[in-house]
Structure 1
Amino acid sequence: MSKQKKSLVTENVWRVLRQFTDARIGLGRAGISLPTHELLKFQLAHAQARDAVHFPLDVKRLLKDLGESSAALPGQSPLLLKSQAEDRLTYLQRPDLGRSLSQESLECLAGLCRGDSGEPSVAIVIVDGLSSSAIQNNAVPMVTQFLRDLEEEAGDWLLAPLIIVEQGRVAIGDEIGECLGASVVVVLIGERPGLSSPDSLGIYLSWGPKSGLSDARRNCISNVRPAGLSFEHASQRLLYLMREARRLGISGVSLKDRTQEVVIEKTANNKNFLTD
């Protein structure tokens, strides 16, 4: 009777915890090195992260997907703008150029009609950022979910035309919001990819947007993707922050995200189990 061949890989006792996280824990070892399959998975993740940064956003496909979804605003076509970064390499080397619109885009934005109903309350800006795959995969379902929830909202939010920006950073949304006279700007942007999240979408909110606002004046909802924060939860958080920002007239560090506390307060029989 032949003996069963012993595996060269020494398993790690922490491996059982991997069912709860994408973090690289409990990888085991083969001698003093990583097991081959774990090394290959790491190299694949690294390649996916690099691709997310360097691959350009497929704008035509994004426009097509928006047109086929309920994310397209009735009677309005998304407006395509560009930052001052002329290409991807410049964008990566000069973050400052990604924070401002090109002269051509500024002129295009200045000619945008605000309509007879007054200045828009909400400007939604989709920016490629540091992960084109995050925008390509997640922007349309996120905008669709948000607009659906916003329609059910009791507030009288007015919407500006949807805007897409190539080679942009978060701060470019403040310049756009100021030009449009929006009360609040919502920026959907591809976040810097990690080795387990190459397609993570970030959402940034600024109340009273204007050029030169610091990061302390913005609220952030991060890791929005199917494997992270769901579109439904992200949309509800965003609506909560918008309501509070309008009520208090502030955003950023002075505006706290209490959505988790609200959930606790709405447990069974509307009782807080912490005080029972």
Structure 2
Amino acid sequence: MKSENNTPIKKDPWEDLKTFTNARIALGSTGNAIPLDEVLQFRFAHAKAKDAIESELDIVDFKMEIESWGFPVWEVQSRVNGRNEYLQRPDLGRKLNEISEKELQESQQEFDLVFVIADGLSANAVNQNAIPVLKELLPKLEGYKIGFVLAKMARVALSDPIGILLKAKFVSMCIGERPGLSSPESMGIYTTYAPQLGLTDERRNCISNIHSNGLNSKEGASLLFYLIRQSFAKKISGVAIKINLKELLED
């Protein structure tokens, strides 16, 4: 094989490992440089990652879908006013703006489970993956009182004030993860039992890498159902929950 300037491309000895990962490994070389095709692919992947950060949540489609399931749904936004501020001020992404706070306060409802669907750092990831996961999960949740919140400009900890205002026992947030060069559309799910302001990450559980080349919707839903059952049984969430693989497979 030769490069565009007719220089032979030297293969990397790790090339066979590329079949096991989407990571950028074994790129080969042409002279003392990376082959042009690999450079262009890198730039394309970088452009997709930048687009993911700027993507927006499909609020209308989500709301129509959730209402068709018969669940109440609210729209909220953090105190962030734009994507640049979102990237620069993560602290504001953890707090509800005044209008959203008032709307949830006035709801006067209590829930067992509140599912927050949030944009995070890749709304495209959530647009593609949240509904398939929820469709796998919801049939297993008979007997729970469930509500939904669509959150814009959100960080993970925004789930805490949302859970408090809706008097939720358990909050689960579907949120776009930081886009990588091989997975710009990866969704994470963070779960919190008994949400409170100021909780640290050790009080949450995380299911990561839900996307076309990672966990599929059925696997993500199974993990989430397991965490819900464990949290309600033990009244905890976070590192205190030890995942039992045998129990998980039985679910």
Provide the TM-score with structure 2 as the length reference.
0.91
Which secondary structure state, in structure 2, belongs to the residue aligned with residue 137 of structure 1?
helix
Which secondary structure state, in structure 2, belongs to the residue aligned with residue 125 of structure 1?
strand
Match of 1:90?
85
Match of 2:231?
245
Question: Which residue identity lines up with residue 127 of structure 2 in the other structure?
Answer: Q
Match of 2:101?
106
Q: How does 1:175-214 map to 2 (within 5 A)?
A: 175-214=161-200
The CA distance in 2 between the partners of 1:158 and 1:241, in whole Å, is: 17
Which secondary structure state, in structure 1, belongs to the residue aligned with residue 48 of structure 2?
helix
The CA distance in 2 between the partners of 1:225 and 1:38, in whole Å, is: 23
The CA distance in 2 between the partners of 1:219 and 1:158, in whole Å, is: 21
Tell whether the 8 Å contact from 2:193 to 2:236 is kept in structure 1 after alignment. Answer: yes
Structure with max Cα Rg: 1
The CA distance in 2 between the partners of 1:220 and 1:120, in whole Å, is: 21
Question: Which residue identity lines up with residue 145 of structure 2 in the other structure?
Answer: L
1:129 aligns with 2:114: no
Match of 2:3?
none
Match of 1:8?
8
Tell whether the 8 Å contact from 2:223 to 2:248 is kept in structure 1 after alignment. Answer: no
Match of 1:157?
144
Question: Which residue identity lines up with residue 208 of structure 2 in the other structure?
Answer: S
What's the CA shift string for 1:18-47, capped at 9, x where partnerless?
111111111111111111111111111111
Change (3 A) 1:49 1:123: same
Match of 2:44?
44
Match of 2:241?
255
Gaps of 5+ in 2: 1-5
Match of 1:73?
69
Provide the TM-score with structure 1 as the length reference.
0.83
Tell me the CA shift for residue 113 of structure 1: 4.1
The CA distance in 2 between the partners of 1:263 and 1:59, in whole Å, is: 32
The CA distance in 1 between the partners of 2:68 and 2:195, in whole Å, is: 23
Which secondary structure state, in structure 1, belongs to the residue aligned with residue 159 of structure 2?
helix
1:17 aligns with 2:8: no
Change (3 A) 1:179 1:173: same
What's the CA shift string for 1:3-29, capped at 9, x where partnerless?
xxx871111121111111111111111
Q: How many residues align?
A: 245
The CA distance in 2 between the partners of 1:242 and 1:55, in whole Å, is: 29
Tell whether the 8 Å contact from 1:200 to 1:223 is kept in structure 2 after alignment. Answer: yes
Q: Which residue, out of 160, 174, 180, partners 2:160?
A: 174
Q: Which moved more, 1:215-224 or 1:242-251?
A: 242-251
Which secondary structure state, in structure 2, belongs to the residue aligned with residue 86 of structure 1?
coil
Tell whether the 8 Å contact from 1:237 to 1:257 is kept in structure 2 after alignment. Answer: no
Question: Which residue identity lines up with residue 233 of structure 1 in the other structure?
Answer: E
Tell whether the 8 Å contact from 2:76 to 2:149 is kept in structure 1 after alignment. Answer: yes
Large movers: runs of 4+ above 4 Å: none
Question: Which residue identity lines up with residue 144 of structure 2 in the other structure?
Answer: W
What's the CA shift string for 1:228-251, capped at 9, x where partnerless?
011111111111111111111111
Tell whether the 8 Å contact from 2:172 to 2:191 is kept in structure 1 after alignment. Answer: yes
What's the CA shift string for 1:195-252, capped at 9, x where partnerless?
1010110000000012211111000000011210111111111111111111111111
Which secondary structure state, in structure 1, belongs to the residue aligned with residue 27 of structure 2?
coil
- Percent sequence identity is 39
The CA distance in 2 between the partners of 1:33 and 1:7, in whole Å, is: 11
Gaps of 5+ in 1: 1-5, 267-276
Question: Which residue identity lines up with residue 120 of structure 2 in the other structure?
Answer: G
Change (3 A) 1:63 1:159: closer
Tell me the CA shift for residue 90 of structure 1: 1.1
